[in-house]
Amino acid sequence: LSQIGAKFIFVAGMFVSGCVTILFGMLDKVPSGPMFIGFCFLVRAMDAIGFAAAITASFSILAKAFPTNIATVLGSLEIFTGLGLVLGPPLGGFLYQSFGYEVPFITLGCIVLALVPVNICILPKYDSSPRKESFWKLILLPKVLILCLSIFSLSACLGFLDPTMSLFILKKFKLPAGYVGLVFLGLALSYSLSSPLLGLVSDKLPYIRKWLLISGDLMTAVCFFMLGPAPVLHIESQLWMFVLVLVLIGFSLGMSAMPLFPEILQCAYENGFEEGLSLLGLVSGLFNAMWSLGAFVGPVLGGFLNEELGFEWAAAIQGGWPLLSGLATGIFYIIEAIRKSSSSSLQNAPDFDNEERTRLMGNET
């Protein structure tokens, strides 16, 4: 990203994603069997590359353009992420029912391609500043490792809900298929509406970020334990309680997610990394890599647990990820505070000794 430039990577990623989305609409023309499966994997892989390029570059551009309000800007943009999650399924379903398989993908791909020239004209061009910032040096920092665990756990929890929650709703509450999407609104709306406020708090009160991280992780863990609820609680699941827990999950995910990017960036600055587009690209890439890893592990592990143990136990076990990351984050910040207090006391000790020595010498004379 620092070699070629963030703007080019972003536009190229959008172009690839738009073209690949249109290709999705043509997969039904491929003969069934191994060839169809192979093309599906190939197209998905190409889409992943385009998405990774666009999202990584977009994070870098935002951090470069708004260096003192990163969490606020990211939180504001999460409104549109939530809007996409809310509108995508019903609009796609309408186009699919009305016009068939190809039209939803072709329509979305054309919209993405139409935005490419718009971004070419509007986005400023940031000068690339090639530097040899070490990715391994960044990811092996203890604090960054802990924060990566938080990113992974949050993404895994969200990914777990994709293949399991709709099946549980249909089976448990006997809702018509058309109403299942409305249940998802509680999570999407609470996350998208709370994210800007939480991002603003994170930027205005940087010292409170660690408390947002810890509280958000632990709250997410409790909510997933209550989502079923877990059989050990002996509580009968009800629709209103299920929707309420989803709303709380959306809020707790925002509490944890908003401070993560600025915290990693601040940690990098404290450990000698130079400010610039190169570092922003590294942090963006790391953030999205951990998020994508969670988005892979969450559905795979969650789907397996759902089949073997049922949704109630699967959700409770999935809540172990944010519980682990919350406890690890809390322990790390406690150790960090103890080290800082001990180092500050050692720095103040010589000054105290000098003052005492001066007083003693003055009394002797």
Taking only the tens place, the pLDDT of each residue in 91-102 is 887 888 788 888
Query: What's the pTM value of the predicted model, to 2 decimals?
Result: 0.81
Of 68, 75, 6, nearest to 279 by C-alpha is 6
All structural domains of the chain with their residue ranges:
1-123, 133-344
Phi, psi of 275 (to 5 degrees): -70, 135
Higher-pLDDT residue of 363 and 190 is: 190
User: What integer pLDDT is reported at residue 173 of this predicted model?
Assistant: 84
What is the signed CA dihedral for 342, 347, 348, 353, rounded to 10 degrees? 120
Greatest Cα-to-Cα distance within the chain, rounded to the nearest angstrom = 102
Each residue's pLDDT tens digit, 318-350: 999 999 999 999 999 998 888 888 777 666 655
CB under 8 A, 24+ apart: contacts of 174-182 = 175/239, 181/89, 181/90
Percent of the chain surpassing pLDDT 90: 27
Of 11, 122, 74, 67, nearest to 277 by C-alpha is 67
CA atoms of 199 and 28, how far apart (whole Å) = 42
Average pLDDT of 15-28?
90
Mean pLDDT of the chain: 85
Each residue's pLDDT tens digit, 30-68: 888 889 999 989 998 999 999 889 988 888 888 888 888
Question: In the CATH scheme, what architecture does the domain 133-344 have?
Answer: Up-down Bundle (1.20)
Each residue's pLDDT tens digit, 239-277: 889 989 999 998 998 899 888 988 888 888 888 887 777
Higher-pLDDT residue of 117 and 192 is: 117
CA atoms of 266 and 252, how far apart (whole Å) = 22
- Spell out the SS3 assignment of the chain: CCCCCHHHHHHHHHHHHHHHHHHHCCHHHCCCCHHHHHHHHHHHHHHHHHHHHHHHHHHHHHHHHCCCCHHHHHHHHHHHHHHHHHHHHHHHHHHHHHHCCHHHHHHHHHHHHHHHHHHHHHCCCCCCCCCCCCHHHHHCCHHHHHHHHHHHHHHHHHHHHHHHHHHHHHHHHCCCHHHHHHHHHHHHHHHHHHHHHHHHHHHHCHHHHHHHHHHHHHHHHHHHHHHCCCHHHCCCCCHHHHHHHHHHHHHHHHHHHCCHHHHHHHHHHHCCCCCCHHHHHHHHHHHHHHHHHHHHHHHHHHHHHHHHHCHHHHHHHHCHHHHHHHHHHHHHHHHHHHHHHHHHHHHHHHHHHHHHHHHHHHHHC
Average pLDDT of 308-316?
90
Of 300, 201, 215, nearest to 253 by C-alpha is 215
Residue 352 has pLDDT above 60, yes or no: no
CA atoms of 279 and 60, how far apart (whole Å) = 9
Each residue's pLDDT tens digit, 167-225: 888 888 887 766 777 777 788 888 888 888 888 888 888 888 889 999 999 999 999 99
User: What integer pLDDT is reported at residue 365 of this predicted model?
Assistant: 46
Of 313, 310, 262, 302, nearest to 283 by C-alpha is 262
Average pLDDT of 86-95?
78
CA atoms of 282 and 277, how far apart (whole Å) = 9
Most confident of 176-180, 235-239, 298-302: 298-302
CA atoms of 288 and 291, how far apart (whole Å) = 5
Phi, psi of 284 (to 5 degrees): -60, -45
- Spell out the SS3 assignment of 135-147: HHHHHCCHHHHHH
> Which two structure tokens, joined as six digits, stand for 232?
């050990």
User: What integer pLDDT is reported at residue 223 of this predicted model?
Assistant: 93
User: What integer pLDDT is reported at residue 29 of this predicted model?
Assistant: 86
User: What integer pLDDT is reported at residue 178 of this predicted model?
Assistant: 63
